[in-house]
Amino acid sequence: MNRRQALKNLGLGGGALVATPTIISLLQSCGSGAGHTPSFLTASEAGALKELVGLIIPSDIDVPGAVDVGAHEFIGLYWDQVLPTAEQVPALEDEFTAYSMANRQENIRKGFAALAEVMQRDHQTDFDGASTETYDAVLAHYLKADKAQGQAWNSEVWTYLESLKTDPEATVSSDAMANALIHEVRSMTIWTWTQTQQIGEDFLWYDPVPGVYKGCLPSSEAGNGKVMSL
């Protein structure tokens, strides 16, 4: 995969998350049961994020879902405290990182604005008034879109981000930006859920003191098919 294609696959904000000490600290601060006040998103946007996260990995009687472990809280905190602000970007950018750094917080905000437009257009409702069924329909619209449509939306967002470098008045469709946001939320939800201590230790294959590598084991000795918790 060349660099241009790799950049096309990046989300609006997170890209590939790495479990640094800062990220782990944010993870540990979430899901404690204490009241959470969003600082980056509006209350309505935070409510929409929680609905989406809860649908992406719902809870059942055996396994806690993404909302139960505070994934929605972490995502909001990550966007607020880890993504660079517009003021910080000039000091971080160079010829190799201009795309990955520039305007990531602003892109998240544009994604939510686009999603709000889509919900009003297609479902005649807003974030606060939308039912769980409406949020589920929105997820299905973007996550189950055919390959050609998904590639067209991705290409449109890429062209838009490139155009912004020379044309601050460049525009992009609501569907393309909403699609990018939905995929960003899905990616971050899955990553966050698998990285929490509760899921890693209680529901995945957890070995706090790994032994020597053995290339051929029966599944009963290798987590019974579960992903290993790192």
Question: Residue 220 falls within a domain, yes or no?
Answer: no
**In percent, how much of the chain has pLDDT > 70?**
64
Residue 208's pLDDT band (cuts 50, 70, 90): low
Question: Residue 125 falls within a domain, yes or no?
Answer: yes
Q: Are 67 and 36 in contact (CB under 8 A)?
A: no
> Which segment of 44-48, 133-137, 146-150, 199-203 scores lowest on mean pLDDT?
199-203
Q: What is the pLDDT of residue 60?
A: 87
Q: Could you tell me the pTM of the whole model?
A: 0.78
Question: Residue 211 falls within a domain, yes or no?
Answer: no
Q: What is the pLDDT of residue 83?
A: 74
The helix or strand, by DSSP H or E, that contains position 85, with its residue range, turns out to be: none
Looking at per-residue pLDDT, the higher value among 2 and 223 belongs to 223
Q: Are 190 and 17 in contact (CB under 8 A)?
A: no
Cα separation values, 114 from 67, 117, 149, 229, Å: 23, 5, 17, 36
Q: Which residues of 94-103 are buried (b: 16+ CB within 10 A; e: fewer)?
A: eeeeebebbb
Question: Residue 215 falls within a domain, yes or no?
Answer: no
Q: Which residues of 144-163 are buried (b: 16+ CB within 10 A; e: fewer)?
A: ebeeeeeebbbebbbebbee
Question: Residue 214 falls within a domain, yes or no?
Answer: no
Q: What is the pLDDT of residue 101?
A: 44
Which single residue is written with the structure tokens 């990550």?
78
pLDDT in tens, 155-199: 999 999 888 888 989 999 999 999 999 999 999 999 888 888 777
Domain count of the fold of the chain = 1
> Which segment of 101-110, 118-127, 144-153, 217-226 scores lowest on mean pLDDT?
217-226
- Using only C-alpha atoms, the chain has a radius of gyration, in whole angstroms, of 19
In this structure, how many other beta carbons lie within 10 angstroms of the beta carbon of residue 203?
17
Would the CA dihedral through 95, 97, 102, 108 be positive or negative?
positive
Q: Is the pLDDT of residue 125 over 60?
A: yes
Which residues, 6+ apart, have CB-to-CB distance to 150 below 8 Å? 179
Q: Is the pLDDT of residue 141 over 80?
A: yes
Q: What range defines the domain where residue 59 resides?
A: 3-195
Looking at per-residue pLDDT, the higher value among 16 and 209 belongs to 209
Q: Are 75 and 188 in contact (CB under 8 A)?
A: yes
